Structure 1
Amino acid sequence: MVDSPHFPHQYYQSGDLTIGFMVTQYGYLIYELSFRRNPTTEYLEELKLISRTKSYQRILSLAFAVKEINENPELLPNVTLGFHIYDSYTNARMTHQNTLKLLSSHKTVVPNFKCNKQKNLMVVIGGLDSEISLYMATLLGIYKIPQIAYCIIAPMTDVKTHLPSFYRMVPNEEYQYAGIAQLLRHFQWTWVGILTMDDDNGDKFIQTLIPILLKHGICIALKGKIPATAQAAETFTSFESILDEAIYLSNTSVQVLVVNAETITISFLIIKIYAYAEVKDTPLLAIGKVWVMTAQWDFSVDTTQMDMDMQVFDGAFTFAIHLNKVPGFRKFLQTLRPKSKNEDGFILPFWEMAFRCSYNDSIDGMENNNGCSGEEKLESLPGTLFEMSMTGQSYTIYNAVHAIGHSLHKMYSSRQKHRVMPNRGRVSPVKVQAWQLHSFLRSISFNNSAGDRVSFDDNGELVSGFDIVNWVLFPNQSFLRVKVGGMDPQALPNQKFTVNEEAITWHRTFNQVLPLARCNDHCYPGYSRKKKEGEPFCCYDCTPCPDGKISDQNDMDNCFQCPEGQFSNKNRDNCLPKTLNFLSFMELLGTTLAFFILFSSLITAAVLGIFIKNKDTPIVKANNRELTYSLLFSLLLCFLCSLLFIGRPNIVTCYLRQTAFGIIFSVAVSCILAKTITVVLAFMATKPGSRMRKWVGKRLAISVLLGCSTIQAIICALWLCTAAPFPHFDMHSLTEEIILECNEGSVTLFYCVLGYLGFLATVSFVVAFQARKLPDSFNEAKFITFSMLVFCSVWLSFVPSYLSTKGKYMVAVEIFSILSSSAGLLGCIFAPKCYIIILRPSLNTKDQLIRRNI
């Protein structure tokens, strides 16, 4: 088989050692063949050519790298590198054919035979995609010739085991998967579409990426497939499915598309999107999307698209192989001219398509025929056709050539001791075999001219990361490639993924506002997400947080409880510190109660003074002066003990509050009970022959007073010794406040104190009620009855009120009960007597009392 005149695309440069290169410069769309006769190379006349002008830079990057090595006296001295470049045409048959050509002589395809014209092939670089790489590997693996691919997706899992001669000058694609997930998560894009080629690589991409996205909380809104380039090259009917996908993408509301496809495949898709929009006279909805491309994609314009507005890709993101500026490459491109005498079969078609000119059939003469002068400048071309700075894929080829050069240098250096030619010390370049290069290639590690470290890992993959590139397109077909972040697996954990949002330019339809890619709007702080039945987990309803719980971030699955001592604000998006709740002297309620306490105490002290001053008057003497003084003094203490309930609780006030209240009130009620019993016994003792006379006297009154009070004192002492009250912070009773209170310690003993006090009051009320009809001259039972009725009523209403209030209002209820009951006793018992003593002294005589009794 000889080269067809229709396939002149090869580039040969002789050298002691040859590097093979399978480029993807041209693609051919093949019409269906009938196969009614034996196929020959003549069928190639029925092919249609599609040129990728930007791909020509890959060829030039290899030529430039070889030139650098050959001109470097410290690298492979006295050994020259050559290369032989063929095109795969994105076609399996042509890839196999041209791989056999690399394994054969320069002109004839005769593998497995060596002759004088046999190339000393050491390594092959290629191909662009995994399918082409696999086609090549099936042949190169037989000869154990190292193959360095610059594709992104590996052709199979565990590639190093199945293809030990296969290397990749690209990082592990797992880093790209992780980078895509991190990028989507960074911008909170949780409702995205995935578009892949309909082949094994597309299936692997989906099967690998989707679990990672789901793990990061990202839902898949759509999964689309378009025919791979190899499938499309077989028949035009494959474009119908591309048209269907274009129509679907034009109408879907999904704003972010993750795309894993070759450049030419995406180009076909965009063509169909434009065609659909033009036929339907509809706007290009696909323009209002964010494209996230894998490293396979490189923005370019094919000859079929040169007049097409490519604004659809404005603001797109690409995961690109990390690259740096290579010194000297731009100058190398500036000296390139098609009139140069070389065996480059790619330059003339490239020149004609890039500059839209043509040469006549006389290639040797290269006379201008329709404008091509050969002096056109590459820097005048728009970036969509050709770039003067090295692209990512060209950079990988450049690194691959230098990796080969350094590996060969190490191999020759290790053999130099044993293979030195006489007199001149030169090594023989012809006695090395390709299979011997593997051990040196695996362990290679060097810094290239751009300053980047180049080495392979255990899987034969480049130890490197990915750059995140933001594409800015302009109406004049020019563009700007802006690095906005990266995925560096060798960096520190918190620096493995980086994004500079300020450097990003979004598509004009987004007005420089971060696009939203969500099933529904955010659940803002104060709300939590609630899953919608039957919908993906990215689709949810928003429910407000309950009292005491907040959510301080968007899209929280659950509201969380505020820390102890804090409460949720009105919007349920922040926790505020609770204020202390206790009855203070400084607030209005505390000040008012304190005023009434002091006022009541002054009145009680005044009454006590009046009775002491008029101690010898009949009305004072007639009602047991000692009990009267004791009652008035206890009432004075009752009023004053209310002050213990106002102010910040502490250990002392908590000890004294309820115990002082219980003992003092027991003394007061005991005084009333003693007075009532004394009156009743005195009346009964006046009857002839009564035996009650021996019980009448001060001894009985003192016994009742001390006995009843002692019992209450014993209960309080037991309370303080076993479970005394203590200061306590109640965090939960009130939403916005912390109640600083006195915990009663033993609730049982607290109610025992109240119960015993109620028992004394009940007995006093019953005895006074029985004596209410005794003559007024001899007793005050009627007034005691009224006072105990008020007393019992206040404390009966106290219990439910006390239990139904919290905080300082509960304390205020108890203070009010103390004041009310004490005031009732003071008013009902002593007001009538003070009236007579002060206003009606004429009634305060013994004769008047006797006369009234008669």
Structure 2
Amino acid sequence: MQPNSNLMFFMSTTWITILNPVTCKPDLVGCRLWTDSKLTDLLMNGDFMLGGVFAIHDSLQLEQISYTKLPSQLQCYGMDFREVRFARAMEFTIQEINNRTDLLPGIKLGYQIHDTCSTVAMAIKVAFQLSNGLEPDFKYTDSCSNLASAAVTAVIGDSSSTPSISIARVLGLFGIPLVSHYATCSCLSDKHQYPAFFRTIPSDQHQAAALARMVKHFGWTWIGAVRSDTDYGNYGMASFLKAAQGEGICVEYSEAYYRTQPHSKLERVANVIRASTARVIIAFMALGDVKLLLEELSRQPLPPLQWIGSETWITDSDFLRYNMCAGAIGFAVPRSVIPGLRKFLLDLTPAKALESPLLTEFWEKSFNCYLKERTNNTKVKRECDGSEDIHTLQNPYTDTSQLRITNMVYKATYAIAHAIHGLICNETQCDKNIQFSPWQIIDQLKKVNFTTRNGFKVSFDSFGDPPALYELINWQFKKDGTLEFITVGQYDSLRPRGQELKISKNISWVGGQEEVPVSVCSESCPPGTRKALQKQRPVCCFDCIPCAEGEISNQTDSLGCVHCLPEFWPNAKQDSCHPKPVEFLSWDETLGIILTVFSTAGAFMALSVSVLFYKHRTSPIVRANNSELSFLLLFSLTLCFLCSLTFIGRPSEWSCMLRHTAFGITFVLCISCVLGKTIVVLMAFRATLPGSNVMKWFGPPQQRLSVISFTLIQVLVCVLWLKISPPTPLKNFKHYKERIILECGLGSGLGFWAVLGYIGVLALLCFILAFLARKLPDNFNEAKFITFSMLIFCAVWITFIPAYVSSPGKFTVAVEIFAILASSFGLIICIFAPKCFIIIFRPDQNTKKHLMGKVPSKTI
């Protein structure tokens, strides 16, 4: 505590006039109040006195202070009949406790009940009066023992947060506990500032969390907010806004108003509400403030709004006449039944009313008459004639259908009684002479844990707050067209997180509709899109941007999109990833079938030529062109045609190694044979020169050896390639984003290009030699046909390189197969087609004389 800071209000002259000032003289032994104390509204003596403070009137009549004379007593007006019921409920509870034998047996509790007039000024005056007592004289002695005990043991009240804050600060200086039945401001949970404060109604911290959870539950992310410009409204709204932010809820506007502020401020707040786009509005306001706001809004047409009310007004029957609030929902403390209370409230006669100024005023205002003993009352003209029957009254005093806050008074009174019982009573009896300090009552209040006669548990946590238990109230139309309160759910803070709110009945929304109204700044972004915040606007205002290529979002209102794994690709809606189709040159597709047919046809052609040559193996044209190399060439061409088939189908580890090595070796074997034939032709004509014995170096053994040697070199290159870094199947994700190309990776690029380069060197060498021998004298010059075949071969493979590099996906394989087939067909057609033509269609030219050029050649 900080007593010096808590007493700073004494520096204000306003407070000095409000408090009961005293005058002391140095030569006297005591002090006397300058003015009389404020009279107690309801009083009963007892062994232990309990204080009660209620906002029985809602206004305070202030006068201009001249500072030249003592101000007169403060006057209150505007009686609140519900607050009268609260005060009398405290009376009833104390009488019930006094009649019990199990709680404080033999002990009589008394009470002093005061009116704070809903103002801080009167609340502070009452607080000091409850702390100091009602005696007009203060006797000075050397002992301060008379300061150790207060006028009351504990205090119940007030009905508002702001007066309760002031009362708690004053009573806290003296250690007098204040147990409030209706002060919900979360600020009062601060035990450093309010160490003696307790309450039986949940803190607004719980209500704010419950409201935010409910707003989130119904999918409202765009709401408006109005509050009372008081501690209750400001602290409550601050707690709600913090909780709402945690739930992802945005507030379009947050306006504050207090009933004493200018009417222009109220008009401005009303215009903000009318112009807003939010269809849900939460009102954290006191009764008087929300009443003025609703009246102002009813002056002009208002778009349908879903009202969410705080517990101060959501169950007040006076507001049921505002049809614009039909469908309103909000939390309220649970409804209760207090046996015997209604009978006690209605047990009031004119004679009993005259015993208290408060009850006298209540009687006169209820029946609009004055009692005989109050003939000076000029506000009403009719004298009460005895026909007035309190049972016929229809006002908040007699309305015991809900008893929500009244039950909080009931619980608060019992909590204090149990605390006193814990201090002065043992198992058998109570001793009213036991001395204890107010701080001991505070310690006992922290320990209380009991259940009232009507079945409600009472306990306090370390902050002096009870567990939060609310009923969800809904304003629904009855059959006659009037509104009524219906409990449609419950909120219990003791339940596991996320399960606190439970809806038990259907809710009637604004306009009587059954569907939950929509209140969002931007419509939800469907899966496949992401939210993009709008510049300089709250986070609930956003645009829906489609996910980028290769990304998905599978949730509504996704903040971002995620990339699919490399082997997956988004569907058309971009809300899920599906496996990418795997693409390769398969046997059953059109391109694969066409290439297979050509490969098979080429192999069949090579075999057919082999059969034809074998059948005519003794003929001059076959023998003249080195039949052994011709058969070997036909065999290698057959392998070349067949090796193209290894490029078709799903690549595997073995097929990848086989296709490239088989291609390289068979083509080298083929070119080696062609090269051998070319050298033989060239050397054969050189051997006709006088004295030349060159043919002994190019006989059949040398030809075989050259073919084997050239082929072994390629075999060695392929073995090294397979040993160091062989071709392996891989998934190509680069060419196409939406599908996977299954292909054979080259492994070592150097090995692949070495194989191709070696074939190219042999083909170039063969082309050069054939080109040199193209004009040798002969009717059938094979070198000329080899030249054409090598020209086609080189042209095909030169164009193959850029086509191979630039072809995407499976077309890369198709280009390679096409090059193999084209070069193979070029060789077999250019070299063997003319010979086959002569054998089949020109047998007369298949003679040695004709081949030696001794017979004039004819045009073929």
- TM class by smaller structure: 0.7 to 0.9
**What pairs with 1:759-770 in structure 2 (closer than 5 Å)?**
759-770=761-772
Structure 2 equivalent of residue 420 of structure 1: none
TM-score normalized with structure 2 length: 0.83
Task: Choose which of 78, 86, 100 in structure 1 pairs with 2:106.
Answer: 78
Is 1:460 the counterpart of 2:460 in the alignment? no
Q: 1:531-554 deviations in whole A, cap 9, x for unaligned?
A: 444444444333322110122233
- 1:84 and 1:647 mapped to 2: Cα distance? 100
Opposite residue 140 of structure 1, the aligned amino acid is: L
Q: Which residue of 2 aligns with 1:256?
A: 280
Answer yes or no: is 1:413 the counterpart of 2:442.
no
Q: Give 1:118-157 correspondences, 5 Å limit.
A: 121-154=152-185, 156=187
Indicate yes or no: 2:118 matched with 1:90. Answer: yes
- CA displacement at 1:127 relative to structure 2: 1.2
1:305-384 → structure 2 map (5 Å cutoff): 309-321=321-333, 323=334, 326=336, 328-329=337-338, 332-333=341-342, 336-337=345-346, 339=348, 341=352, 358=368, 361-362=371-372, 373-376=389-392
Matched residue type, 2:116: S
Q: Distance in 1 between matches of 2:598 and 2:387?
A: 111
**What is aligned with 1:830?**
832
Q: CA deviation at 1:21?
A: 2.2
The equivalent of 1:49 in structure 2 is 78
Q: Does 1:273 align with 2:297?
A: yes
- Output the CA distance in 2 between the equivalents of 1:219 and 1:350: 46
1:845–1:437 CA distance, 2 compared to 1 (3 A) = same
Paired residues of 1:470 and 1:484 also in contact (CA < 8 A)? no
Hey, what does 2:483 align to over in structure 1?
Answer: 478
Name the CA distance, whole Å, in 2 between partners of 1:608 and 1:163: 112
Alpha carbons of 1:206 and 1:463: their partners in 2 closer, same or farther (altered >3 Å)? closer
The equivalent of 1:422 in structure 2 is: none
SS in 2 for 1:428: coil
Deviation at 1:202, TM superposition (A): 4.8
Aligned to 1:247: 271
Instruction: Output one character per residue of 1:127-163: Cα deviation in whole Å (capped at 9) or x when no partner.
Output: 1222111232244234422111234554857731233
Counterpart for residue 715 of structure 2? 713
1:41-83 per-residue CA deviation (whole Å, 9 max, x = no partner) reads 5773xx65263x5555544654554455445443333334444
Contact 2:424/2:434, CA 8 A, preserved across alignment: no
Aligned pair in 2 of structure 1 residues 339, 445: CA closer, same or farther (>3 Å)?
A: closer
Q: Which amino acid aligns with 1:835?
A: F
2:113 aligned counterpart, secondary structure:
strand
Q: Are the counterparts in 1 of residues 189 and 464 from structure 2 also a CA contact under 8 Å?
A: no
Letter in 2 for 1:93: A
1:110-121 mapped onto 2 (5 Å cutoff): 121=152
Contact 1:134 1:155 in 2 (8 A): no
Amino acid paired to 2:792 = V
Residue 491 of structure 1 aligns with which residue?
495
Q: What residue in structure 2 maps to residue 429 of structure 1?
A: 432
Equivalences, count: 806
Indicate how the Cα distance of structure 1 residues 765 and 97 shifts in structure 2: closer, same or farther if over 3 A, else same.
Answer: same
1:570 corresponds to: 572
* 1:610 matched residue in structure 2: 612
After the TM superposition, which of the residue ranges 266-275 and 732-741 deviates more from structure 2?
Answer: 732-741
Which residue of structure 2 aligns with residue 280 of structure 1? none
Structure 1 residue 124: deviation in Å?
0.9
Shift of 1:750: 1.7
2:225 and 2:282 in contact (8 A); partners too = yes
- Whether the aligned pair in 1 keeps the contact of 2:714 and 2:758 (CA below 8 Å) is yes
Q: Residues of 1 paired with 2:686 and 2:850: CA distance?
A: 22
Shift of 1:668: 1.4
SS in 1 for 2:192: helix
Task: Look up the equivalent residue of 1:222 and give its one-letter code.
Answer: Y
Counterparts in 2 of 1:144 and 1:852: CA distance versus 1, 3 Å: same
Of stretches 35-44 and 610-619 in structure 1, the one that deviates more from structure 2 is 35-44
Partner of 2:449: 445
Does structure 2 conserve the Cα–Cα contact (< 8 Å) formed by 1:790 and 1:824?
yes
**Aligned counterpart for 1:397 among listed residues 409, 417, 428:** 409
In terms of mean alpha carbon deviation, does 585-594 or 337-346 score higher? 337-346
Task: Please show how residues 671-686 of structure 1 align to structure 2 within 5 Å.
Answer: 671-686=673-688
Question: Could you say if the C-alpha distance between residues 672 and 444 of structure 1 is closer, same or farther in structure 2, counting changes exceeding 3 Å?
Answer: same
Stretch deviating more after TM superposition (783-792 or 620-629): 783-792
- Distance in 1, matches of 2:272 and 2:325, equals 18
Q: Equivalent residue for 2:199?
A: 168
Q: Which residue of structure 2 lines up, in the alignment, with residue 842 of structure 1?
A: 844
Instruction: Indicate if the aligned counterparts of 1:773 and 1:782 stay in contact, CA closer than 8 A.
Output: yes
Q: Distance in 1 between matches of 2:49 and 2:131?
A: 11
Amino acid at match of 1:166: F
Contact 1:329–1:389 under 8 Å retained in 2: no
Cα separation, 1, equivalents of 2:448 and 2:704: 111
**Structure 2 unaligned spans of 5+:** 1-19, 21-32, 376-381
Unaligned runs of 5+ in 1: 278-282, 417-424
Deviations 1:192-246 (A, max 9, x none): 333233345555456555555445544443231212x5xx2xxxx6344223222
Cα RMSD over matched residues?
3.9
Q: For 1:517, which of 510, 520, 530 is the aligned residue? A: 520
TM-score, length basis structure 1: 0.84
Q: What is the CA deviation profile of residues 412-442 of structure 1, one whole-angstrom value per residue up to 9, with x for unaligned ones?
A: 335x6xxxxxxxx642335454613122111
State whether structure 2 residue 664 is matched by structure 1 residue 662: yes
How far off is 1:14 after superposition? 5.4
SS in 2 for 1:121: coil
Q: Residues 801 and 400 (structure 1 numbering): CA distance in 2 closer, same or farther, change over 3 Å?
A: farther
- How many angstroms apart in 1 are the aligned matches of 2:344 and 2:234? 44
Amino acid at match of 1:771: A
Question: 2:302 aligned with 1:284, yes or no?
Answer: yes
SS in 1 for 2:670: helix
Letter in 1 for 2:305: K
Distance 1:357 1:728 in 2: 97
Shift of the 492–158 alpha-carbon distance from structure 1 to 2, 3 Å rule, reads closer
1:737-756 to structure 2, matched below 5 A, reads 737-756=739-758
Maintained 8 Å contact 1:726/1:745: yes
Aligned residues of 1:171 and 1:463 also touching (Cα < 8 A): yes
Give the AA of the match of 1:160: K
How far apart, in 2, do the equivalents of 1:472 and 1:548 lie?
A: 51
Contact 2:200–2:465 (Cα < 8 Å) also in 1:
yes
- Measure the CA separation in 2 of the matches of 1:108 and 1:478: 51
Shift of 1:745: 1.5
> d(CA) in 2 for partners of 1:616 and 1:377?
139
**Residue pair 2:165, 2:188 contacting (<8 A) in 1 also:** no
Equivalent residue for 2:5? none
